[in-house]
């Protein structure tokens, strides 16, 4: 039940396209999930949220998998099924990167 049209790559403003390019490069994937596609309507917000997320997920006291599991726990506590699915998938990718 979406209320915001998700933007495909052809509909992106140049500033949003630059953020998507950075997401792809940083994550090593071509996939951009719906969260980012919805935020792309406001490139300044998209840029700010992505910048903050990169900072949070960057090097620090906790490893990336632990950080992702915290996101998953918060998503579960909030009852957000989309977020649970998204962070479960991200945690699985991070689990396999430690193999």
For the chain, which residues make up each domain, given as ranges? Answer: 1-58, 60-99
pLDDT recorded at residue 8: 96
Return the structure tokens found at 83: 């977020």
Residue 30 pLDDT exceeds 70: yes
pLDDT bin (cut points 50, 70, 90) of residue 90 is confident
pLDDT bin (cut points 50, 70, 90) of residue 44 is very high
pLDDT recorded at residue 95: 80
Determine the average pLDDT of the residues in 2-23. 94
Residue 98 pLDDT exceeds 60: no
Mean pLDDT (the chain) is 91
pLDDT recorded at residue 99: 45
CATH of 1-58, picked from 3.40.50.2300, 1.20.1290.10, 3.30.70.790, 3.10.450.50, is 1.20.1290.10
Determine the average pLDDT of the residues in 23-50. 95
Return the structure tokens found at 49: 């949220």
Do residues 34 and 6 lie in contact, with contact meaning Cβ atoms separated by under 8 Å? yes
Do residues 46 and 16 lie in contact, with contact meaning Cβ atoms separated by under 8 Å? yes
Helix (H, G, I), strand (E, B) or coil at 80: coil
Nearest-angstrom CA–CA distance, 30 and 6: 16
């Amino acid at each position: 039940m979406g209320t915001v049209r998700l933007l495909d790559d052809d509909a992106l403003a140049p500033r949003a396209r630059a953020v998507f390019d950075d997401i792809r490069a940083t994550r090593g994937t071509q996939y951009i999930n719906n969260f980012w596609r919805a935020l792309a309507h406001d490139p300044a917000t998209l840029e700010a949220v992505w910048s903050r997320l990169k900072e949070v997920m960057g090097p620090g006291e906790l490893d990336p998998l632990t950080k992702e599991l915290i996101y998953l726990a918060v998503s579960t506590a909030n009852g957000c099924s989309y977020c649970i699915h998204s962070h479960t998938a991200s945690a699985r990718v991070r689990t396999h990167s430690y193999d």
